[in-house]
Amino acid sequence: MSLIELDEIKSIVNKALEIFQSFESPFLGTIEVDGNVAFVGDT
């Protein structure tokens, strides 16, 4: 695996963590918009 691939994986993991943390925010149940994708916190 190259360093570039590792960096891409780290970037994806960090993005997933940001999304996960947004679900655990005090605004749970509201719609959070990330780029062009809307996430509904209350699932």
Q: What pLDDT sits at residue 16?
A: 85
Q: What pLDDT sits at residue 30?
A: 54
pTM: 0.44
Q: What pLDDT sits at residue 39?
A: 53
- The DSSP line for 1-43 is --HHHHHHHHHHHHHHHHHHHHHTSTTBTBEEEETTEEEES--
Q: Render pLDDT for 1-43 as a digit per residue (tens, 0 to 9).
A: 678 888 898 999 889 888 877 766 555 555 555 555 555 555 4
Contact between 39 and 31 under an 8 Å Cβ cutoff? The reply is yes
34, β-bridge pairs: 37
Q: What pLDDT sits at residue 42?
A: 54
Q: Write the single-letter amino acid at 35.
A: G
